[in-house]
Amino acid sequence: MAPLRPDLHGVPETLLWTLHHRALEARRPDAVLHDPWAVELVARLDYPFAERFGTGGHGVAQGQALRAAAFDRAIRAFLAERSGATVVALGEGLETQFERVDDGRVRWLGVDLPEVVALRRALLPDGPRHRSWAGSALEAGWMDEVDPGADVLVTAQGLLMYLRLEEVHALVEWLAERFPGGALLFDAVPRWFSARTLRGRMRTPQGYVAPPMPWGLDVGELAAFRAAHPGLREVRRVALPPGRGLLFRRLLPVAARLPVVRDLRPAILLATFAPRPS
């Protein structure tokens, strides 16, 4: 089969960044993430991954893979508690999380922009328990695809930072209202990082410039974030699994507990929605 040449720009192109780094990590014998599907997808794409994004050095690949592994772990825990639940992956890109966490019962809906879903379907056709919906996560249409009686975990891995504050706020409130008793698993970049992207200052040595990430949230602001969203019952941090080497095995777990230092790093968060009033 001839390789597919993706025609993605701006935020949609960032899905190739995360895919590339997961695949780089998954190729290692001591990988922190088992993801042969990512390796295969990269091989099926005609795209200059290394020239554009580099080769994952300085812990970049491992960091991306650990983030995905942390999401996987939280999703598996949700599915273990609520067997047969539905996962809605907003901004799914070319994630292969369904393949990694499938317990044989989960129902999965991926949501992404039309050009991304077209590419995804060409590489990973929908299946009986994994469907995709083409459109913005901010449009209501995808919600009609979810069984109203289902237990729902919404994930937004690498998505909310690309939205504006008022869009994040509206989305969180809307999800809480629509899926009472469910949860939202998402990640957030700290404010300093968001500010740098807005100035076009997050640039790789290869010259790739990360798109603007208007929404930033510091870990120190979690209580205020919860208070600003009446539909949330609780917001808690999700730890990264331990990785390889001094930084990922020893330093980051300690840094995650230190105020100030913890605000320097992106955070993974699990927000639970208040149950339906009886």
Interface contacts to ligand SAM, rule CB under 6 A: 11-12, 14-15, 18-19, 90-93, 95, 111-113, 116, 136-138, 157-159, 162
Least spacing, CB of residue 94 vs ligand SAM, in Å: 7
Q: Residue 136 or residue 272: which is nearer to ligand SAM going by CB?
A: 136
Least spacing, CB of residue 158 vs ligand SAM, in Å: 3
Q: Residue 113 or residue 168: which is nearer to ligand SAM going by CB?
A: 113
Least spacing, CB of residue 67 vs ligand SAM, in Å: 8
Q: Residue 43 or residue 223: which is nearer to ligand SAM going by CB?
A: 43
How many other C-beta atoms can be found within 10 angstroms of the C-beta atom of residue 137?
A: 22
Least spacing, CB of residue 242 vs ligand SAM, in Å: 20
Q: Residue 7 or residue 234: which is nearer to ligand SAM going by CB?
A: 7
The span from the CA of 165 to the CA of 163, in Å, is 7
Single-letter residue type at 130 = H
Least spacing, CB of residue 103 vs ligand SAM, in Å: 20
| 93: nearest Cα among 120, 69, 70 | 120
| 21: nearest Cα among 1, 41, 3 | 41
Q: Which residues of 252-268 are buried (b: 16+ CB within 10 A; e: fewer)?
A: beeeeeeeeebbebbbb
Q: Does residue 148 sit in helix, strand or coil?
A: coil
Least spacing, CB of residue 32 vs ligand SAM, in Å: 15
Q: Residue 231 or residue 266: which is nearer to ligand SAM going by CB?
A: 266
The span from the CA of 159 to the CA of 123, in Å, is 21
| 63: nearest Cα among 192, 251, 205 | 251
Q: Residue 213 or residue 232: which is nearer to ligand SAM going by CB?
A: 213
The CA–CA distances, whole Å, from 243 to 59, 95, 233, 259, 262 equal: 10, 20, 31, 22, 17
